Structure 1
Amino acid sequence: MQHSLTNTIEIEVKFSDVDMLGVVWHGNYIRYFEDGREAFGRQYGLGYMDVYNAGFIVPIVNLNCDYKRFLRYEDKVIIETIYTPAQSAKINFNYRLLKAKTGELIVKGSSMQVFVHRDNFELQLTNPDFFVDWKQKQGLI
């Protein structure tokens, strides 16, 4: 029973997010992905501290960002964060950033995180027990 889970938030572009041309600096879109992951974690009980308290950290090992349009200061942006299940020990997210006013696609992207033991930084090759429990609770397995 593989399906995805989605979180959607809306933020407003801050002055500190834009460059001298008044458009969002390209690296800040990656930070918006992070905002989406944090909101997803709060909604579904898979926040960074949940993972940390279970004995792991989840570094990003792959990140993609496909720029379509740009945002400006005070634009409102919808961040869609979509978790896509995988059988291997990793967390995959897809992102869509939409201009709230028009619904136009601004950026799409993806990230992959792996489980690393927080104490010795060894890679976890199988799904940690807490993650299997989380997947079951979400109806993903």
Structure 2
Amino acid sequence: MNKELITQTKLQVRFSECDSLQIVWHGNYLKYFEEGREDFARKHGISYLDAKQNGVATPIVKSCCEHKLPLKYADVFTVETTFVNTNAAKIIYKYRIFKAEQLICTGETVQVFIDEKGELVLNNPSFFLDWKKKMMLI
């Protein structure tokens, strides 16, 4: 199916996220992506706690961020988080951060499933497949 699940999360740059020039330090963009994932989870009913309750964790194994323009102290911006549907046993999100209509950066994270022993889970856990069915992704 080609249904896309997308959320828009509004945030504001805090002073502690900036360097001495009042420009957002590059590492904070990954935190903004995490804010987008958390908001996605609340809005679409799939969270880290769901994974934990089903005996798995979802560590990030890949993250990338391509910076276009800087954010500065007090800027209000939007994190657009898009779930990438795949048959593989992983969770992929794409991100775009905008200030008004300006594209600030793009990015992606990839998470996998591991069991309580830290072993990679090669098949999608049943709770995740159930969620995908509920969302009409499969």
Q: Secondary structure of 1:124's partner? A: coil
Question: What 5-or-longer segments of structure 1 have no aligned partner?
Answer: none
Query: TM-score, normalized by length of structure 2?
Result: 0.97
Q: 1:40 deviation in Å?
A: 0.4
1:1-141 aligned within 5 A: 1-100=1-100, 103-117=101-115, 119-141=116-138
Paired with 1:84 and 1:4, the residues of 2 have a C-alpha distance of 7
Identity %: 44
Superimposed CA distance per residue, residues 23-66 of structure 1 (whole angstroms, 9 cap, x where no aligned partner): 00000001000000000011111111111111111001111100
Query: TM-score, normalized by length of structure 1?
Result: 0.95
Misfit runs of 4+, over 4 Å: none
Q: 1:138 deviation in Å?
A: 0.2
Paired with 1:136 and 1:10, the residues of 2 have a C-alpha distance of 28
Q: Secondary structure of 1:26's partner? A: coil
> Matched residue pairs, number?
138
Q: Does the CA-based 8 Å contact 1:2-1:140 persist in structure 2?
A: yes
Q: 1:2 deviation in Å?
A: 3.2
Q: Which amino acid aligns with 2:135?
A: Q
Paired with 1:54 and 1:45, the residues of 2 have a C-alpha distance of 15
